[in-house]
Structure 1
Amino acid sequence: MPNGGYPQDIGELSSGKMLRNGDVVEEVDGRKTKRWPTDKAYFIAKELLMTERTYKKDLDVINIWFREELSKESESEGDSLVTLIELLADAHGPCLQEMEVRLARWESNARHNIGDYLYNALLNVLPLYDQYLENLMPVLEKFEYSMRTSKHFDQLCRDFELQKHCYLPLTSFLLKPLQRLLHYNSIIDSLLDHYPKDHTDFEDCLAARDRLGETLLEGLTVLNQAENLVQLCELQRDISGFDNLVQEGRRFIRQGCLQKYSRKGFQQRMFFLFSDVLLYTFRSQQPTQCFRVHGQLPLKNMKVQENDNKTGTDYAFIIHGIGNQSLTVAACSEEEKERWLEDLNTTIAQIDSVEGKMPYLNLKTCILGSVDEVGDGVGCESDRTSCGGAKTSQRRNTTVHGCWHRNTSISYSDQLRAFQNQLSGFLLRKFKNSNGWQKLWVVFTNFYLFFYKSHQDSFPLASLPLLGYMVSQPSDKDGINKDFVFKLQFKNHVYFFRAESDYTFGRWMEVIKSATQQSHTTTSYSFKEEY
């Protein structure tokens, strides 16, 4: 099928007519062009193929590229990372090839089944996933220990993350197999919802879900532990000024921007809420962009005053710590304020119900409650834990920097929701003031859209952080007279993206809403196609 599912003339789609065999004949400039099968199961299977392409490339980031870096070194701290991934990477090569063949057949023959492929493929690979889940936490713990104790390994990993094909933080790739299991489950559920019970594919899909469910029982338990540990490891690398953020029992709750009040007025600061402590930081540019801790407030005996009577600022509240220590802060909106208040009050209530003293961070800087803050631009320490030292620059596509630039926050529940949503495929993109549409291979993951010329490219050309964006259908004044188009907007930045079908359009809307914090809105997006 040419152009990844679009007609040859991808700039001009018109309404088509369905043939009895399920294909569509489309008229373009008086010419009839065959498009694709219209069965929803086809588009579900195609999503499986599109995401399998991305998944295999993500596995290869560890199995090929990181392995190559390790082969240059005599130290073996990273061998366990490669061992964790290599069997899965080897197994998914044939899986991807089989999917490519199946979809090609489906496009030449309107009737096809996918359930038997899913059942047989899962039957072969799930024992490897069982082994992966058993070893994931020990490997992550060993990785964190090696990063903390070996300056050489730490620098090796930071240098690797600056390479173009490592488009996400390194630890994110270690969680990709777990993310893939959740996506398989979503694909199977979509097929079971679509097929009638007497469909020839229904029983195979049901058997595939039952077998996958056995592995997911363990997977969901590991997910909470692994995602929390990865988040703590990542924050340890983006924040300077303290040691040992990764501690047993500590959980990540929320991170994001608040305006902190001092005698100089309100200044933007980055806050990090954990299960036992609240940190506030300022951004430093030297020797690299990072967030330096200015103070901490243990959550034990903390009180939150929801109204600010001192500054008269909208969306402000006061956080009272031990003794007479307090912070006056303001959110950027009522919604952001409510998110912070809910997480603060819930976490404080949980810690106050625990007997004994909770451990909290051992700061190497700043006395709690200092009124005057050091402004942005003051250098962070040059040791290994302070954002990687002078040899590195800003780490790629981290949620910390996304929150800072969008003046917003994300919670652990936001992380989990985004973790369970991923998508890949071809989209047509149009800028607000441009005339034509550009065809791109687009990958959604980790709150970002990544843009490639094709799925065969080894690294993205550009990325777009979705935090703070709103996703919607175009309005009449946008002048977009095409089907299956969604609009992304942040302030005056506007993008239009065009999907190939009603199903694909709905899926892109669904996953993007999971990253833009609009997932609580239960709006149905669907076009009624007339043939």
Structure 2
Amino acid sequence: MLSSSSSRGASSEYGVISITANEGFSPNHPLSGSTSTYGVFKKETKPNGYGTIFRPLAVNGVDLMSVEKSECKMDSEGDLEAILNTNHSIDLFESDFKDSNLEIEAMEKIRQDLRVHERALLRDALLIAKVFHQRVHSLTKDYHLLEEMFIQIDSIATSISKFIQEIDSLQLLNSQSQTGNLMNMMIESIGTAVTKQDALLRNMTTYISALYQLKHSNAAFRMMLNDFEASSECYLPVIWLLIRVLNRLLHWQEACARVVEILLANGHVNGALGTARMAVDHLAHHSASTAPTRKLLYDFAVLLEIESQLCGITPIMHPDRHLLMLGRVSEVLNDGFAPRLLLLFNDVLMVTTENRDAFSILRLIHLSNLKEGSASLITQNSRTCILVDSEEGRFIFTAKVTSLWLETVSEGIRMYHRNPPALLKLQLVLERKGNSEGEINKLSYGRLTLMSACWLRGGTIGREEIHQMAEKWRVGVLLRRLRSSSGWQRLFVLHSHGHLFFFNSHKDSHPLAALCLLEYGVSVPTLHDQIPQRNVFKISHQQLSYFFRTDSHYSFLRWVESVRASCLSRRPLDALTALSVHL
């Protein structure tokens, strides 16, 4: 329980905070063992005249000057948050007192974010245009479309490199005029960037189709592509790397929107605000106009990934086919329950089970054989199980999100009968197709495919959530809490495609490890976790927990927002975390 009181005089201001708890201090700490801790602090102006600090005077009557700084983990300014657990001591004056330089600090964060995101995209673009192209050039030199794709990606890489140099030339954003310079630079760059991105988008479907056809017709190219995607430097399949480059301007739109938000919050009505709004409008229009094509590409990429892990079926790739939902369920059999992975497409419900590095198809339930309402309740409780009656037989399934499956299957049946897709029926085959794939699931640093992640975590993911994951990504430096000590490890972290990829630095050519976020929950540390630092978020799944620390509250909010989009644990945020991220 948190409670507080304060008194303000003419020359000084004081406050008291109370925490009813007995955790948060080490056994040797003078304040340990207290069931109720009271802190008295004094509000003072910073020496430079900008902003305020809260200098602690005493806690439970203990003079803080007599307590070792290493024990209290105090910083040079004696910040109250260094004594009380960061995530359980609310900043009482945050809404009442604002530092006058917060606006400039936030703008500088946006500039740094732009720079680090562009640098990560440059790495991806060069990975395709240089590294991958060099490996397969002997096989693609006679394929005009693929060579054209490499040229376009290389051109975008050059554009990204130039933009990074322009960002660096601004140096620190230490004034409002510098903020205006950033917006002017972005306005000047948007036109060229949109032209290049549109040219790539117009042809991307053709390029990916050419890659797919060459992969299935040329054994040597297929082997090279599989080897490249299984290598440590290629942390994502080539098609998803292409999509990341294609989505470059989505982060620009977010950055410009943040600038508008900050300027409006600080009362600006002219200057950089008008330029920022112009940039947001231009980028938002481009995003909306390209959204349908981008979503088709996401669907195509998902089908390509799924097909690489399926065995015992004819090829599933088709422009009119897309995945509606994927997840692990339990099938009710006469002798008990059996784990299954369900794949609901817009024309068929596929029942599979794991088979080493792949998934074997047990049966296909075509939606053409189902009528609306055929996926009906077997009990009165929609959370218990569903019954599917079809020409293929009667099947009963249970899942953690049975009601969601019921709703999605029913909607899929309605959509099919309302507008049947022109698709040939998929057929089961006796043997696995000749080309051996699935290598991507064996990567040493732990990246999981959607199917493998849902199978291992018992998760479920829908089409819209996959689209969201494709567009939510973040990159930057995080500190990871070490389990063996109270220390922190500095890592360069890339969040993309539902994973956290960990690098020693941005110069590394391959990640040290990867963590799939599906079914993880996001929260702030509890008092029991004994994390006294600021801006720390926690991701957890069952008994596993990881703590990550950012360098600012701005970065904390952006990371939590981005990571939440990939976790899909369907667990609501606890009240404390919701307060921390202002939801």
Instruction: Verify same fold: TM over 0.5.
Output: yes
Structure 2 residue aligned with 1:394: 442
Q: Which amino acid aligns with 2:520?
A: Y
SS of structure 1 residue aligned to 2:416: helix
Q: Distance between the aligned counterparts of 1:94 and 1:426, measured in 2? A: 23
Task: State whether structure 2 residue 275 is matched by structure 1 residue 208.
Answer: no
Structure 2 residue aligned with 1:516: 567
Q: CA deviation at 1:275?
A: 0.1
Structure 1 residue aligned with 2:165: 97
The 5 A counterparts of 1:4-403 are: 38-39=102-103, 40-73=106-139, 76=142, 78-102=146-170, 104-106=171-173, 112-113=178-179, 114-196=182-264, 197-285=268-356, 289-302=357-370, 303-307=374-378, 315-322=384-391, 325-331=393-399, 333=400, 336-354=401-419, 359-365=424-430, 381=432, 383-384=434-435, 386-387=436-437, 394=442, 396-403=447-454
Structure 2 residue aligned with 1:7: none
Q: Which has the higher contact order (CA 8 A, sep 6+)?
A: 1
CA gap of 1:344–1:47, structure 2 versus 1, over 3 A, is same
- 92-101 vs 228-237, which moves further: 92-101
CA gap of 1:356–1:140, structure 2 versus 1, over 3 A, is closer
CA offsets, 1:225-248, max 9 Å, x none? 111111111111121111221123
CA gap of 1:258–1:527, structure 2 versus 1, over 3 A, is closer
How many residue pairs are counted as aligned between the two chains?
484
Check the 8 A contact 1:84/1:135 in 2, yes or no. no
Q: Which amino acid aligns with 2:184?
A: D
Q: CA deviation at 1:53?
A: 1.8
Q: Distance between the aligned counterparts of 1:418 and 1:56, measured in 2? A: 20
Task: State whether structure 2 residue 538 is matched by structure 1 residue 448.
Answer: no
CA gap of 1:350–1:495, structure 2 versus 1, over 3 A, is same
CA gap of 1:448–1:355, structure 2 versus 1, over 3 A, is closer
- Between structure 1 and structure 2, the one with the greater Rg is 2
- Please, what TM-score do these two structures have when normalized by structure 1? 0.83
Q: Which amino acid aligns with 1:268?
A: P
Q: Which amino acid aligns with 2:402?
A: K
Q: Which amino acid aligns with 2:172?
A: R
Q: Distance between the aligned counterparts of 1:393 and 1:521, measured in 2? A: 30
Q: Distance between the aligned counterparts of 1:68 and 1:52, measured in 2? A: 23
Check the 8 A contact 1:240/1:292 in 2, yes or no. yes
CA gap of 1:75–1:292, structure 2 versus 1, over 3 A, is farther
Check the 8 A contact 2:312/2:433 in 1, yes or no. no
| C-alpha RMSD over aligned residues | 3.2
- 171-180 vs 348-357, which moves further: 348-357
Indicate which of 445, 460, 470 corresponds to 1:409. 460
Check the 8 A contact 2:321/2:423 in 1, yes or no. no
- 175-184 vs 394-403, which moves further: 394-403
CA offsets, 1:315-365, max 9 Å, x none? 322222226x1222121x2xx212211211111111122369853212213
Q: Distance between the aligned counterparts of 1:243 and 1:492, measured in 2? A: 40
CA gap of 1:76–1:490, structure 2 versus 1, over 3 A, is farther
Check the 8 A contact 1:23/1:110 in 2, yes or no. no
Check the 8 A contact 1:168/1:398 in 2, yes or no. no
Q: Distance between the aligned counterparts of 1:106 and 1:88, measured in 2? A: 26
Q: CA deviation at 1:125?
A: 2.1
Check the 8 A contact 1:276/1:300 in 2, yes or no. yes
CA gap of 1:345–1:22, structure 2 versus 1, over 3 A, is farther
Task: State whether structure 2 residue 527 is matched by structure 1 residue 476.
Answer: yes
Q: Distance between the aligned counterparts of 2:156 and 2:286, measured in 1? A: 15
CA gap of 1:259–1:433, structure 2 versus 1, over 3 A, is farther
Structure 2 residue aligned with 1:426: 477
Q: CA deviation at 1:413?
A: 0.6
Check the 8 A contact 2:326/2:451 in 1, yes or no. yes
CA offsets, 1:466-496, max 9 Å, x none? 0011100111111112211111111110111
CA offsets, 1:417-473, max 9 Å, x none? 112211111111114553211111111111101111111111110111000111001
Q: CA deviation at 1:84?
A: 3.7
Q: Distance between the aligned counterparts of 1:414 and 1:30, measured in 2? A: 42
Q: CA deviation at 1:218?
A: 3.4
SS of structure 1 residue aligned to 2:518: coil
Indicate which of 504, 508, 514 corresponds to 1:463. 514
Check the 8 A contact 1:452/1:459 in 2, yes or no. yes
Q: Name stretches of at least 5 consecutive residues in structure 1 with no aligned partner.
A: 1-14, 366-379
Q: CA deviation at 1:199?
A: 4.6
Q: Name stretches of at least 5 consecutive residues in structure 2 with no aligned partner.
A: 1-42, 56-72, 79-99
CA offsets, 1:148-205, max 9 Å, x none? 3222222221111011110011210111133222221111111112113425321221
Q: Which amino acid aligns with 2:240?
A: S
CA gap of 1:315–1:17, structure 2 versus 1, over 3 A, is farther
SS of structure 2 residue aligned to 1:383: coil
SS of structure 2 residue aligned to 1:106: coil
